[in-house]
Amino acid sequence: MKTINDFDFKGKRALIRVDFNVPLNDKFEITDFTRIKAATPTIMKILSDGGAVVLMSHLGRPKDGPEGKFSLRHLVSHLSEAFGTEVKFTEDCIGAEGIKMSTNLKAGEVLLLENLRFYKEETKGDIDFAKSLAEHGDIYINDAFGTAHRAHASTAVIAQFFEQKGCGYVMQAEIENAQRVLESGERPLTAIMGGAKISDKILIIEQLLDRVDNLIIGGGMSYTFFKAMGGNIGNSLVEEDKLDLALTLIKKAKKLGVNLELPIDSVVADNFSNDANTAICMNNSIEEGWMGLDIGPQAAEVFSRVVKESKTILWNGPMGVFEMENFASGTKAVAEAIVEATKNGAFSLIGGGDSAAAVNQLGFGKDVSYVSTGGGALLEYMEGKVLPGVAALED
């Protein structure tokens, strides 16, 4: 697969698939610039080469055609500031007006296309829609790793219409960092899996058991393990149909010599609310009417110790309901341990999604080795699945 460094963009139009699916507040202001900052080096490289840039992205999940709240027009002023040049905008990602604008772009100019998902053909992977999009550029660059696991028109189908195609710096970094964990991570290698459900993480857990020294399980999924082992988990989240699977994973970890760490204790609450009554409870004896919403202080201490002794760390999923202040301590403790390990020479990969949100929210984004921009895509890549957006660049 070629990278952006393999091309000379002078006098060329680069059509770049970026992931500008960024959060907006009720005033349509961007509240998290992570994805825009990540894509900026790719865009600036092309502009500095003397090329022109055409950007395409989706935003949100519009249901039936154009919706004002999902218009990429809201991003124009922010992007103009980020790139240090006026960003032009076309209200249709295909059609004569947009093609005329992209055709007339001069070196150093940037054009943003309207939301790709205003057309259902985008998510359906429609070949004619992809062909129309392809008219906007001479060279195709995919830098949207976060959507690389989707077989959409702009990620998987469009590449066939270009002789020159490759990945941008974001896509390149995502793949290289994932491979570093999977193939060449220094030992001890620790994976931290959190979030609500085992079913969301089963494939990556099974993949990692063959590679890691330590597997830390936190978040809502941990209570399925405790119930499977005969514990009382009160009203905590549980997947009844995954109890046998939990026991199988425990046995597999033991057989492979993997240190499987489950949280000893939890911060429990009598209601799913930041204002609920709380207590600290051992995870095999949670009373009825109470639910675990964060790992407890003992678990945080054990998890932190394991993390600090690690040389390679993968983190995907929070330790509790970190969005609520009273249940964020466990996630914060793990994040602080990862930061300390990184300062001491460890390589740390934060696996997108809620983990990335937590790290950035806590202000630790610059203190870890790499924060992934693609939660689902990274998981699927590390599960060993073929990502359509990556495969399309390898033809």
pLDDT, tens digit (0-9, with 9 covering 90-100), for 286-305: 999 999 999 999 999 999 99
Of the chain, the percentage scoring pLDDT greater than 90 comes to 82
Sequence length of the chain is: 395
Query: Is 197 annotated as catalytic?
Result: yes
Beta-carbon contacts of residue 57 (< 8 Å; ≥ 6 apart): 17, 18, 19, 20, 21, 72, 113, 115, 116, 144
203 pLDDT higher than 90 = no
Average pLDDT over residues 238-261: 96
Residue 394: inside a domain, yes or no?
no
DSSP-derived 3-state class of residue 316: strand
Largest CA distance in the chain: 69
Running DSSP on this structure, what letter comes out for residue 86?
Answer: P
> Over the stretch 13-44, which tens digit does the pLDDT of each residue have?
999 999 999 888 999 988 888 889 999 999 99
> Distance between CA atoms of 355 and 381, rounded to whole angstroms?
17
- Beta-sheet strands, E only, within the chain: 13-17, 52-56, 87-90, 110-113, 139-142, 165-167, 189-193, 214-217, 232-233, 259-261, 265-269, 278-282, 285-286, 291-295, 312-316, 347-350, 370-371
Position 2 confidence tier, pLDDT thresholds 50, 70, 90: very high
pLDDT at 162: 97
Mean pLDDT of the chain: 94
In the chain the first and final C-alpha atoms are separated, in Å, by: 8
Burial class for 3, CB neighbours closer than 10 Å (0-12, 13-18, 19+): middle
Shared domain for 133 and 8, answered yes or no, is yes
5 pLDDT higher than 90 = yes
Shared domain for 32 and 159, answered yes or no, is yes
Burial class for 174, CB neighbours closer than 10 Å (0-12, 13-18, 19+): buried
Q: Which of 63-77, 104-118, 166-180, 361-375 has the lowest mean pLDDT?
A: 361-375
Average pLDDT over residues 199-218: 91
Q: Which of 196-200, 205-209, 265-269, 366-370 has the lowest mean pLDDT?
A: 196-200
Of the chain, the percentage scoring pLDDT greater than 70 comes to 99
Q: What is the dihedral of CA 359, 297, 196, 216, to 10 degrees?
A: 80
Average pLDDT over residues 251-261: 97
Choosing from 51, 234, 353, 389, the catalytic residue is 353
Residue 374: inside a domain, yes or no?
no
**Residue pair 327/276 in contact by the 8 Å Cβ criterion:** no
Shared domain for 127 and 202, answered yes or no, is no
- DSSP one-letter string for 111-154: EEE--GGGSHHHHHT-HHHHHHHHTT-SEEEE--GGGTTS--II
Shared domain for 139 and 274, answered yes or no, is no
Shared domain for 150 and 231, answered yes or no, is no
Residue 69: inside a domain, yes or no?
yes
> Over the stretch 323-363, which tens digit does the pLDDT of each residue have?
999 999 999 999 999 999 999 999 999 986 788 888 888 88
Adjacent-strand bridge partners of 190? 214, 313
Shared domain for 339 and 205, answered yes or no, is yes
Average pLDDT over residues 72-88: 95
pLDDT at 395: 67
For residue 365, CA distances in Å to 6, 93, 345, 378 come to: 29, 33, 16, 17
Closest among 361, 348, 325, 334 to 34, alpha carbons compared: 361
Query: Is 385 annotated as catalytic?
Result: no
Query: Is 166 annotated as catalytic?
Result: no
Shared domain for 225 and 317, answered yes or no, is yes
Query: Is 353 annotated as catalytic?
Result: yes
Shared domain for 269 and 130, answered yes or no, is no
Residue 30: inside a domain, yes or no?
yes
Residue 355: inside a domain, yes or no?
no
Residue 161: inside a domain, yes or no?
yes
Instruction: CATH number of the domain at 216, please.
Output: 3.40.50.1260
Q: In which order are the strands placed within the sheet that holds 139-142?
A: 87-90, 110-113, 52-56, 13-17, 139-142, 165-167
Number of domains in the chain: 2
Beta-carbon contacts of residue 233 (< 8 Å; ≥ 6 apart): 223, 226, 227, 283, 284, 286, 292
Shared domain for 137 and 194, answered yes or no, is no
- DSSP one-letter string for 198-249: HHHHHHHHHHHHTT-SEEEE-STTHHHHHHHTT-EETT----GGGHHHHHHH
Residue 291: inside a domain, yes or no?
yes
Could you tell me if residue 345 is left (phi over 0), alpha (psi between -120 and 50 degrees) or otherwise beta? left
Shared domain for 294 and 324, answered yes or no, is yes
In terms of residue numbers, what domain contains 279?
Answer: 187-345
375 pLDDT higher than 80 = no
Choosing from 197, 252, 308, 311, the catalytic residue is 197
Choosing from 35, 165, 211, 332, the catalytic residue is 35
Residue 206: inside a domain, yes or no?
yes
Shared domain for 161 and 91, answered yes or no, is yes
107: which 2 tokens? 């070196």
Last residue of one domain, picked from the residues 307, 323, 345: 345
Shared domain for 49 and 165, answered yes or no, is yes
> Distance between CA atoms of 157 and 151, rounded to whole angstroms?
7
Choosing from 50, 108, 365, 376, the catalytic residue is 376
